[in-house]
Structure 1
Amino acid sequence: MIQIPSSFWLNADEIKFPDIKLALKEPNGLIGIGGDLSVERLLHAYSNGIFPWYGKDEPILWYSPDPRMVITPEAFHLSKSLRKTINSSRFNVSVNTVFPEVMHQCQNVPRAGQSGTWISDEMISAYCNLYDAGYAHSYEVFLDKKLVGGLYGVALGGVFFGESMFSLVSNASKVAFAYLLQNSDYKLIDCQVENKHLESLGAFNMPRDLFIQQLKAFV
């Protein structure tokens, strides 16, 4: 049975989190339970390497996993086939034009091995508030003026915290990811947890201590 320290239960009246060094090893990185998804708490969480991730009928759960999967522009692997797709001009890419639609697609697109989604209506409302405040961003891929892929996340300084991506046609999400890496000034992209799809594009695991050091340097 998992022993949850009493300090992990967050006070609704303050946004402070426990010391990140107290994060559990199993489930990997759990550091807080409860609180809310206010803009203030979310910004405080991300600036300290913490993000919310919870399922239906669960309280808000906050994580800072170790290791942390990240990617840098220098580490990005652009395959010949993806380069050909980008150069073909088949897709049009935009930024921050249909943020809510990107989130709804990420919520609704079926994913292999997953029976549901962690992107609740509550999460959509919270991140749309972050978008309105200028901190959340979406990268959108269109084919024949139809939204067919994209991603969204949170940006603080030189760090982009990727949250989710979707693809309705082959390579659409990869095109969005490539655009993010090649057409922005972000020094570090947070991919949160290990993902084979992103690993194939150059993402790698970084010890949490080093990730926090990088975060403090770039934010």
Structure 2
Amino acid sequence: MNLFTLDINCDVGEGIGNEMELMPMISSCSIACGGHAGDSATIKEVIRLALLHRVHIGAHPSYPDKANFGRKVMEIPFEKLQQSLEDQINAVHVELRKSVATMNHVKAHGALYNKAAVDTETAQCLINAVKNTTRDVWLYAPYGSILAEMALDQGLKVRYEAFIDRNYNADLTLVSRSEPNAVILDAKKVLKHLLRMVTKRKVKTIDGKMVKIKAKTYCIHGDNSNALRILKYLSKKLPNFGIKIG
């Protein structure tokens, strides 16, 4: 049986220390690059592991706010934010060049990702940073977002992303992490959530609605306490549905 190949990406280099276990079970990774977590040493080590397991490598810039792990919107001038984002993306470039490797994508983290999805100024700031630092890479962005629409209009390559371990609101924004049901921890529920998005192009929102969604890459968070258990379960079960991670 020919299996359909699915891209599963994971946010890594965030201080959890589980990258060695995660890498064999994912196909893309987004490396924290100093904004919310990470430094040159962690970037270098995660790149080494990604190359070892043939995992696509991306930069994972954020608001420069380690105190809040990049999960709160910062009141920061856009010029200063853009410079920080460019510095973060370039930090990954520096280590990639040392390894004679290339960047596959850029994906914003946390509050920046969510804000850029709905706010034109924040989206433009991120787009400018990507255009100034990269060439021919994917921008991971949510389907139907302002960020995706603006990036496509400005000639960037966009890969729609969905989250397999997060619940959605009816407008396709993610349920706030301040809510107890924001993160999906049960592996069986994650599989059902993922299969619905892949096979039906729909997501069941937190209020029970079925909403259209498109994605070419699916994220699981490296700091999800059950990430390893979920990925092991998916690796075992997905082939039964004609799907493999790769």
Q: What TM-score, normalized by structure 2, do the two folds share?
A: 0.27
Higher strand residue share: 1
**TM-score after normalising by structure 1:** 0.29
